Amino acid sequence: MTCPICGSKTAPSYRPFCSKRCADLDLAKWLNGSYAIPASSEDEEEPLDQEAETPVAPRH
């Protein structure tokens, strides 16, 4: 198995990466939005105005 960032052989302690550096680079890509998981229209939430119409039980 090779590191998805640099292509080097993976290290067991950082699998699937070869080093902490590559693991951190991958995390940075997720955090800055370079990676994204596409959502289908079924996964989208209801608009907020529709949620407000749902009755809410009173809290005790």
Residue spans of the domains in the chain: they are 1-34
Question: Any binding-site annotation on 34?
Answer: no
Q: Is 6 annotated as a binding residue?
A: yes
Residue 57: per-residue pLDDT:
76
- The whole-number average pLDDT for the span 3-25 is 97
Strand partners, 9: 2
- pLDDT one-digit tens code per residue, 29-56: 999 989 888 877 665 566 666 555 666 7
Torsion sign (Cα): 8, 11, 17, 20: negative
Cis amide leading into 4 (omega within 30): no
Give me the percent of the chain exceeding a pLDDT of 70: 75
pLDDT higher for 49 or 21?
A: 21
Tokens coding 48: 């907020």
Q: Is 3 annotated as a binding residue?
A: yes
21 has binding-site annotation = no
- pLDDT at 36 (0 to 100): 81
